[in-house]
Amino acid sequence: MREKIALYLDLIRWNRPAGWLLLLWPTLSALWVAANGFPGWHLLVVFTLGTILMRSAGCCLNDVADREFDKHVKRTADRPVTSGRISVKEALGLGAVLALLAFGLVLTLRTETVAWSFAALSVALAYPYAKRFVAMPQAVLGVAFSFGIPMAFAAVTGEVPWQAWALLGGNLFWVLAYDTEYAMVDRDDDLRIGMKTSAITLGQWDVWAIMGFYVAYVLSWALVLQALHRPLLAVGLMAALMQAAWHFLLIKDRTREGCFKAFRLNHWVGFAVFAGVVLSHL
């Protein structure tokens, strides 16, 4: 039983919280903006736990969808489903339970938020299969990873204003940046097995495209939030840009180690922006 639990925890990447932090920071930032300050403990707990649960459920689906491809990738060959230590049925069952728990949390929110959760689920289900057909599937992931933003606005105000969609669009650029770094790690393997990724599509322009994505992310959020007129917000955005500059040094030589390190540390970019948003509302 202990071994089985350990495999389940490995399946949902429990020891790698960077994944759910990448979803959490923009969602919490949106909560603070929508509420014009602290959104209350109920919303904070629901969106934090819901983010962790849905990211974990997504890992289950992703590993099932990619199990045949993952066998041929150095980094993923030993995943529980790919290696056969967890069956497809078990993985899908665990993912369904986690998704239902997350939906139970959503049911405690406004009706509008419940409605938007179905759209978020649809995009999340589509992403694992987008890698077969879309030249830059990271864009689909970007929408999935950013859907907490309109849901946060719906939970606070009962509506999704243009600012929410603009912030989602800006956050999409950040996802493109860090997930392209992630794709650069597996580029050789992905080319061999015919997987489509932004790292392959961008080719020799990958590094400069990533830098452009970072700048577009920060500038778009700055433009949307400029009405706040609070200087500490600029401090958070500048901290995010400084980290992006450091990431350039990590990925410019396109080494597996450098690209993976840049990806793993990206949650600090999101935290910098979140910290700026929170401090600007104090």
Question: Is the CATH number of domain 2-280 3.40.50.9100?
Answer: no
Instruction: Enumerate residues 6+ apart whose C-beta is below 8 A from 68.
Output: none
Question: Distance between CA 237 and CA 269 in Å, rounded?
Answer: 9
93-119 b/e (C-beta count within 10 Å ≥ 16 → b): ebbeebbeebbebbeebbebbbebbee
pLDDT tens figures, 64-81: 988 887 787 778 788 888
pLDDT tens figures, 124-151: 888 888 877 888 888 888 899 899 999 9
Instruction: Enumerate residues 6+ apart whose C-beta is below 8 A from 103.
Output: 117
Can you give the residue ranges of every domain in the chain? 2-280
Q: Which of 93-107, 136-150, 260-274 has the lowest mean pLDDT?
A: 136-150
The enclosing H or E element of 115 equals helix 111-130
| Confidence bin at 185 (pLDDT 50/70/90) | very high
